[in-house]
A and B are shown apart, each in its own frame.
Chain A
Amino acid sequence: MLEVVLFLAVFLGNSWIWRIYNSNISIFILIVLATIYSFLVYEKKSKFATFGLIAVLVPLFYFQFITTVPQSLTILENDELGVKQQRLKLYNSVGTSNAIYNPFSPYLRILFHRVDLKNFLEGDLGTISTRIQRNFFESIDPNIYFFAGHPRERVWVKDFEKFYFLLCIPFFVGLHQIFFKRNYVLIIYLGLSLILLSLIGHKNSFGPFILFPGIVLVILKGLMRIKNYVR
């Protein structure tokens, strides 16, 4: 009974869910269902919960995708382009007297020009890799969820505090619990969510809401663990 009360408290006692409710009722309903199914899957209370979760997650992933302002993984903004041009000049100076530092100038010249490391490091591949990494690391940054990105606020996203900051403590306790129990359905769901967010980025006024059910569950498990520990 206490677990259900805590579940509801965490689930509904945050500004994130009501922000979504006020803006998009379809997403709200899908999140409610996904959160309940996630709970049932974790508790193994219903055989059909896994199917229910999958059925709800598919449209939820879709909504996450279409409500996110698309960010190209390759196209550079004007200031980024300026930096890139400046940097390419530095590569051109490798192995020449203009270079500031090149202890292995002759070897580096051969390496940089024959293997085309300049393009590898500063070309499209480098840009794609950096952007995917940025999206991924932002997705797994706890400060984004509990402190509105503080102390390292993001200028490119309008962040808001998704859960009350003290809930970060049960979150970390619960994270260990979830992985310790190795519930593969939930681990795959979280993994796929992170892949999607890494690819599409974070310019979404609702935040990365596909992670909402998972985070609620993790906090709940953490609270239960703390309760048992205190007892």
Chain B
Amino acid sequence: MLGKKISPFLLVGLILLLGSYLRLIDLETIPSGLYVDEASTGFNAYSILRTGKDEYGKDFPLSFRFLGSYTPPLYTYLTSISVHIFGLSLFSVRFVSAISGILMIAVLFIFIKQLGLFKNKLTYLFVTLFFAISPWSIFYSRIGYEINLAFLIFTSGVLFLWLGFKKPWWLILGMGFLSLSTNAYHAQRLLSHLVVVIFLISFRKFFFTKEYLKYLLAGAFVYFLFLIPQFIIFLTPANTARGLGLLYDLTPVSFFREFLSQYLSYFSPRNLFFQPDSDLQRSLPELSVFYSWMVAPYLVGVYNLIKKISQPEYKIIGILFLLSPIPAALTGDPFSTQRALPLLLPVLLIIGIGLDKLFTGKFNKFVILTAVVLTVFSLLYLYRSYALLFPNERAKTWGYGFEQLAEEIQKRPGEKFVIDTGRIKPAYIELAFYLKTPPEVLQQTVDQNIKKRYYEDISWSSYYNFNNFETRDIDFGIDMCKEQILVGDELAVSDKQAKEHFLNKIFEIKSPDGEIVFQGFKTNPALKCP
């Protein structure tokens, strides 16, 4: 029916266009601010591009040291290319992520076509469309750090593993991509290994044969090749601090109980379809990771998945479904949408299975019409949450105000600023980003011993002093007697303190919803310390 009237490829193209639009439109403005992780990524990419060294002066790191923790390097290196093309900006920092999200739409379509899961051709289009408009995917496609890139590489790896059933050499590519994804995001360092091992064990009768042996060995070789950077720093805190540091410290029984509760929460319809991630920086207002109506096809899908689990195309979804939340569940954060992003793929496929069942049932025309109407409503709710509420209500969480603060600093080149770090996210990197501070300046400012013990030293100090500002806590005893501008959030300096110390408020930066983000006070040493 569909094929005779409109080419499905044209429709996929339109979905791709819609997905690209949703991932690229106003990329600089939403999220409305620069989160500190984005600032670190962006500035280090800029630093690598300009000097071949990171902010600490370390040559081409194997793992980037961001604010005392370590981040796999792939995203930062790729971002240096976009910084080269577009300059250091919010757009260039988020670009790689956005492109990954767009490519994911195509990869997903190819994957579901290759799996051949659905009886109704419309289901392929719906599932691709659901991914294109998925709040989970859109959210992580529009932020400037590594999660979405890792998800693209991981999914491509799974697709290639699956294609290994057709041509054995795909296995090499699949294993290579899965291994590569471990250089993109920490959670992949567990998940990718699990997927490769469980996949090969599950389909051992097919793969552990004479025909496949040499390809498996080649795949293993490529797999280990991409792991070399991690082997080099394997026993250093750069690798272990993040991997082990997040595990909760409990006795075996309570650990198992805790893990089970965390793990189970990733399958709960309440978390997937209704309640957003409790971390305000990682969630959208009033919208969870899937639209709430999708719970119906999800439940039908889970039922049918279990029913047909012995078939390879269902088995691989089952494997992904059960394995994807493990890294996230091992950390203490409740329902971390960031660490569990790979779960998006199997859940979406399960929704597709359910939808296909409903599309091929008795009232299929009615169901298809309902799905179309609900999809339109989903877009409306996406607009409400992402375009209207999110940039206004979450601006402060997302580092709104640093750009304006950088402008205030630039306006007063001859004056000294002290940025209070009591409750503010690390300001030095945000300001270095917006002021486009030459990387050499920052490299000379930091403790020169850090680069010698780069992968071992996890200590981090919020004290920085470069350009015309310092970042540290305000000292009311000393700072009032110096000619300078004190900057803090709404609680840093009270009206009473301002009066007592003869401070003169010279600027105030407010978030879009009217909350004070920063306020700047000029000291008056002549009156305070005559």
Contacts and interface: CB of A to CB of B under 8 A. Distances in A.
Partners in one complex: yes
Contacts of B334: 151-152
A138 interface: yes
A204 B261 CA distance: 23
A206 interface: no
* Interface residues of chain B: helix, strand, loop or mixed (majority): helix
B213 interface: no
A141 B268 contact: yes
Contacts of B392: 90, 100
Contact of A137 (B270, B380, B391): B270
Contacts of A90: 388-389, 392
Interface string B117-129: 0000000000000
Interface stretch (B41-49, B72-80, B97-105, B271-279): B271-279
Interface residues of A, number: 30
Contacts of A138: 270
Given A101-B30, A165-B261, A152 B275 contact: yes
A101 B26 contact: yes
Interface string A116-155: 0100010000000010011001101111001100111000
Given A90-B388, A142-B268, A152-B265, A137 B512 contact: no
Q: Which of B274, B295, B391: most chain A Cβ within 10 A?
A: B274
B33 to A, nearest CB: 11
Contact of B264 (A86, A102, A142): A142
Nearest to A173: B306
Contact of B274 (A86, A133, A143): A133
Contacts of B271: 141, 152
A141 B265 CA distance: 8
B273 A137 contact: yes
Contacts, number: 85
Contact size range, B = 35 or more
B269 to A, nearest CB: 6
Contact of A152 (B32, B292, B335, B380): B335
B303 interface: yes
Contacts of B261: 143, 146-147, 150-151, 165
B513 interface: yes
Q: Which of A91, A101, A147: most chain B Cβ within 10 A?
A: A101
A176 B391 contact: no
Contact of B389 (A87, A103, A117, A133): A87
Interface in A59-88: 86-87
Nearest to B272: A137
Interface of B: 25-26, 29-30, 32, 257, 260-262, 264-265, 268-271, 273-275, 278, 286, 292, 295, 303, 306-307, 334-335, 380-381, 384, 387-389, 391-392, 512-513
Given A103-B387, A143-B264, A150-B261, 18 more contacts: A86-B513, A87-B388, A91-B388, A121-B384, A133-B274, A134-B274, A137-B269, A137-B273, A137-B295, A140-B270, A142-B268, A143-B261, A147-B261, A151-B265, A152-B270, A152-B271, A168-B260, A180-B307
10 contacts: A94-B388, A100-B391, A102-B387, A103-B387, A117-B380, A133-B274, A141-B268, A143-B261, A151-B262, A152-B270
7 closest Cβ contacts across the A-B interface? A151-B334, A137-B270, A141-B270, A147-B261, A137-B274, A100-B391, A150-B261
